[in-house]
Amino acid sequence: MRVGVLQENLAKALSVVGRAVSSRSTMPVLGNILLEARDNQLRLAATNLEIGVNCWIGAIVEDEGAITVPARLLVDFVGNLPPERVDMELSVRTQTLNLRCLKIEANLKGIDAAEFPHIPTVSEQNGPGLMDSGDGVAIELESNGLRRMVDQVVFAASSDDSRPTLTGVEVTFHNSRITMAATDGYRLSLRSAPVESALPDDKMVVIVPAKSLAEFARISADADENQPVQVLVTQSRNQILFQIWGRNQEGKGGSFHRVELASQLIDARFPDYHAIIPKTHTTRTVVDTAAFLKAVRLAILFARDNANIVRLRINPANGAANGQLSLTATSAEVGDSVNDIDALVEGNDLEIAFNGKYLIDVLSQIEQPQVLLETTQPTRPGTLRPVGMGEDEFLHVVMPMHPSR
Amino acid sequence: MSIPRKIIHLDLDAFFCAVEELRDPALAGKAFAVGGPPESRGVVASCSYPARRLGIHSAMPMARAVRLCPQLIIVPARHGAYSAVSRQVMARLHALTPQVEQISIDEAFLDVGDHGEPAEAIARQLQTAIRAELSLPCSLGVASNKLVAKIANNVGKAAARGDSPPNAILAVPPGEEAAFLAPLPAEALWGVGPRTAERLAALGIHTIGDIARWAEADLVRRFGKHGADLSRHARGIDDRPIVVEHERKSVSQETTFSRDVSDRALLEQTLTGQAQDVSRILRKQQLAGTTVKLKLRWADFTTLTRQTTLPQPIDDAATILATVRTLLARTWQGQPVRLIGVGVSGFAEEGARQMSLWEQPDARTERLSEVVQALRSRYGEQALRRGSDLGAAPLR
């Protein structure tokens, strides 16, 4: 293998695949990144067997070939190189990769590429007639929209591996819509949008690990917005693949041609969340999203030593006084804080306590200037959604903290 | 010389019996004992002063107590009621000073150094108030340290004779500690058990005064570090401060198996029961914690703990169980387990807890748990057990 690439592109590709590297595995090759030179592209790949990422960048290939080298060392080494051409050459006999950049030279001892696990790709699955054959299901989705959807639900998934189902996001394709739902048992984030491309006739539901979707969202921040993302669910319904197209312009920060992300699906039944979505409310509060977010960020400075408890006091307009949302947080050690923000309040006054971190998580994902909070009682769930979006488009349900007893 | 401290030791007289007499005044003046029935190998938890006069004492097998006094009235223990009354007593002590160290359900030390009045006067007011407001007898010892205050209380109570509670108060003025202790038998000193007493007697040491006169260096040579404590205590010296009771830091349950267990199903079944117990205690005490702990002890007594910190405080059995099962899966590789336990700690202030979306307070489960708790507090923890626990229960 003999190949030349730009340092920026190589560094970008390493950042794309880097998080899929297995940090602690009994298989040493999983701690490595695969480099494969072929067809005037360099493919970089990493996998922890749950998620696998392939990234192709432009390259000048003089001799085709492949090797795996330790991820940590390669990432740190390339990250410190100047933005110039990097030449790599493999000594097949010793399985050592020689890297040169200007006057810098290094030799990295690798592991044979043949030991690296196979990561499925859309291109190999996409045999003729697949879209109609029912073998797998392939869907094209708008890249930017899909990324925003993921960002708005993925934070609500559980990070607790003892509840594996809740570490996933339920993704449903049905009636020309895609719907995503995530819950950690304390809050639920629901997002739905129309899909323009053809969908299978039958409803399709899969549970995608939240980590994989978060990785998709991170990578697709560098995607070409004009090119759709291909999403493919394999025939056996145990894997989901994403194909993301790069911006393909040589420029600062580097770029990739194409990325494919493959993830295992979670084989479980997602809890039925429809029953826990409140059907009614007794207090309806409309407030400026940025002001609300800022107020919670201030409150949590005091709340973080005390289970992040942020108390909301909601007061409807009274005579000349505007409606108000008042946030308080108290810590025995640090002190306390109160913050009043103007709000449009309809209905009863109410005091309710939430985990401030949960409020920050959802408010920071709302782009609309105003947010609607609907509540009933201090021990019943509250719902949040951006003003201007329907309940069927974006809905966040959050359980309060039980009031002090 | 620093200003002497003002320490009070308070002990509720025959506490369980006093509470039972409040419930049933007809018991007053009768020989009765609180505890388990003789036919189920019950023991005397507490006995009335008339019963004591017949030679019955606490920790005695009930069967033997009945042989000593065939008319003995046996009253089943109601631990819930005793705890409730104890809390009322302790609340009165805390109202007097924050410097309260509760030793047990019926015993506490107080440091009343911040009060201008003499400690003996404060002790008398306390005794009067507890009798007037709670109708409970108590005895108090007053001294410049915990050791002498406690011994003074014992001496004061022992001096009282008769069928009524001692209601004793004995104060040892500062500077007279050693003189007060000197005539008492060596066993009256903390840390002098039957074995130490025997070894002391072999040296011709019978009273605390004998210990105080003995060369400290020689006691250290014979008894090690314990010898130094003996010597100091015998001279009435004790610098230990009042350890103000801390808030509860954790709730846990442990099971020692009668035979080491290598069966995963049995371990998980035990964890299930423990998670339910811990959850019940947490809810009762209105606590919720973020840290869940698994404790394991192998056959060779190696003990290890593994814990997980959750993003929000929890108190429900399902989450506790799911978390310890994950910890067990990571830690246990089939080796025989001698002891297994579950704990929750990391409590938030105010006992606030994150509620769950699927939280459905199940009225039947809550009622069942209340009934089980009531039965256990009346007849003891062993009175009612899950059938699934019987295989794992320690042999008694």
User: Would you call A186 and B353 a contact, using CB atoms and an 8 Å cutoff?
Assistant: no
pLDDT at A252 exceeding the cut of 80: no
CA distance A43 to A62: 15
A274 or B287, greater pLDDT: A274
List of long-range contacts for B108-112, beta carbons under 8 Å, 24+ apart: B108/B9, B108/B10, B109/B7, B109/B8, B109/B9, B109/B10, B109/B146, B109/B149, B109/B150, B109/B242, B110/B7, B110/B8, B110/B10, B110/B242, B111/B5, B111/B6, B111/B7, B111/B241, B111/B242, B112/B6, B112/B7, B112/B8
Please tell me the least confidently modeled range out of B181-190, B247-256, B385-394: B385-394
Render pLDDT for A378-388 as a digit per residue (tens, 0 to 9): 889 999 999 99
CATH superfamily to which A277-398 belongs: DNA Polymerase III, subunit A, domain 2 (3.10.150.10)
B219 or B394, greater pLDDT: B219
Q: Which helix (H) or strand (E) holds A10?
A: helix A7-18
Render pLDDT for A295-335 as a digit per residue (tens, 0 to 9): 999 999 988 777 888 999 999 988 878 899 999 998 766 78
pLDDT band of A364, cuts 50, 70, 90: very high
CA distance B396 to B394: 6
CA distance B160 to B169: 10
CA distance B112 to A369: 61
DSSP-assigned states of every residue in B124-169 = HHHHHHHHHHH---EEEEEESSHHHHHHHHHHHHHH--SSS----E
> What's the confidence (pLDDT) of residue B382?
65
C-alpha distance across the termini of chain B, in Å: 54
CA distance A215 to A151: 10
> What's the confidence (pLDDT) of residue B292?
94
CATH superfamily to which A2-115 belongs: DNA Polymerase III, subunit A, domain 2 (3.10.150.10)
pLDDT at B330 exceeding the cut of 60: yes
User: Would you call A307 and B359 a contact, using CB atoms and an 8 Å cutoff?
Assistant: no
Cβ contact B172:B143 at 8 Å: yes
> What's the confidence (pLDDT) of residue A25?
74
Do the domains at A136-247+257-273 and A277-398 have one common CATH topology?
yes
Average pLDDT over residues A89-93: 95
% of residues, chain B, pLDDT over 90: 48
CA distance A180 to A177: 10
Render pLDDT for A24-62 as a digit per residue (tens, 0 to 9): 777 899 999 999 999 999 999 999 999 999 999 999 999
Render pLDDT for A197-247 as a digit per residue (tens, 0 to 9): 878 788 899 999 999 999 999 999 999 989 999 999 988 888 999 999 998
User: Would you call B354 and A183 a contact, using CB atoms and an 8 Å cutoff?
Assistant: no
C-alpha distance across the termini of chain A, in Å: 69
> What's the confidence (pLDDT) of residue A404?
54
| Tokens 């129309």 belong to residue | A194
Average pLDDT over residues B145-160: 93
Give the tokens for residue B369.
Answer: 């748990």
| Tokens 């008319």 belong to residue | B71
Identify the sign of the CA torsion B89, B92, B93, B98. positive
Mutate to test the interface with A, among B268, B349, B356, B360 (most CBs of A within 10 A): B349
Cβ contact A340:A324 at 8 Å: yes
pLDDT band of B259, cuts 50, 70, 90: confident
Determine whether B39 is an active site residue: no
Residue B191 phi/psi, 5-degree rounding, is 85, 0
List of long-range contacts for B95-104, beta carbons under 8 Å, 24+ apart: B96/B122, B96/B126, B98/B244, B99/B242, B99/B244, B100/B242, B100/B244, B100/B245, B101/B242, B101/B243, B101/B244, B101/B245, B102/B245
Cβ contact A398:A350 at 8 Å: no
The alpha carbon torsion through A38, A39, A45, A51 (nearest 10 deg) reads -130
Q: What is the pTM of this model?
A: 0.62
> What's the confidence (pLDDT) of residue A8?
95
A88 or A320, greater pLDDT: A88
> What's the confidence (pLDDT) of residue A198?
79
CATH assignment of A136-247+257-273, given 3.10.150.10, 3.50.50.60, 1.10.1740.10, 3.40.50.300?
A: 3.10.150.10
DSSP-assigned states of every residue in B328-367 = HHHH--S--EEEEEEEEEEEPGGG-EEPPTT----HHHHH
pLDDT at B376 exceeding the cut of 80: no
pLDDT band of B38, cuts 50, 70, 90: confident
Identify the sign of the CA torsion B30, B33, B36, B37. negative
Cβ contact A45:A37 at 8 Å: no
Render pLDDT for A200-212 as a digit per residue (tens, 0 to 9): 788 899 999 999 9
> What's the confidence (pLDDT) of residue A405?
42
How many residues belong to chain B? 396
pLDDT band of B393, cuts 50, 70, 90: very low
Render pLDDT for A347-357 as a digit per residue (tens, 0 to 9): 999 999 999 99
% of residues, chain B, pLDDT over 70: 89
Render pLDDT for A127-144 as a digit per residue (tens, 0 to 9): 443 343 345 788 889 999
- Which residue among B323, B353, B358 places its CB closest to the CB of A185? B358
- Which residue among B288, B349, B357 places its CB closest to the CB of A332? B349
Residue A260 pairs in a beta bridge with A54, A243
CA distance A261 to A240: 8
**Helix, coil or strand: residue A164:** helix
> For chain B, which domains are there?
1-174 (3.30.70.270), 179-234 (1.10.150.20), 250-383 (3.30.1490.100)
| Residue spans per domain, chain A | 2-115, 136-247+257-273, 277-398
Nearest to A264 by CA among A233, A230, A219: A233
> What's the confidence (pLDDT) of residue B79?
82
Residue B327 pairs in a beta bridge with none
pLDDT band of B243, cuts 50, 70, 90: confident
Residue B303 pairs in a beta bridge with B297
Count of A-B CB contacts under 8 Å: 74
- Which residue among A188, A399, A404 places its CB closest to the CB of B354? A399
pLDDT band of B239, cuts 50, 70, 90: confident
User: Would you call A353 and B352 a contact, using CB atoms and an 8 Å cutoff?
Assistant: yes
CB contacts, 8 Å: B348 with chain A: 306-307, 309
> What's the confidence (pLDDT) of residue B370?
61
CA distance A41 to A59: 5
Average pLDDT over residues B254-266: 88
Render pLDDT for B95-145 as a digit per residue (tens, 0 to 9): 888 888 888 889 999 999 888 889 999 999 999 999 999 999 999 999 999
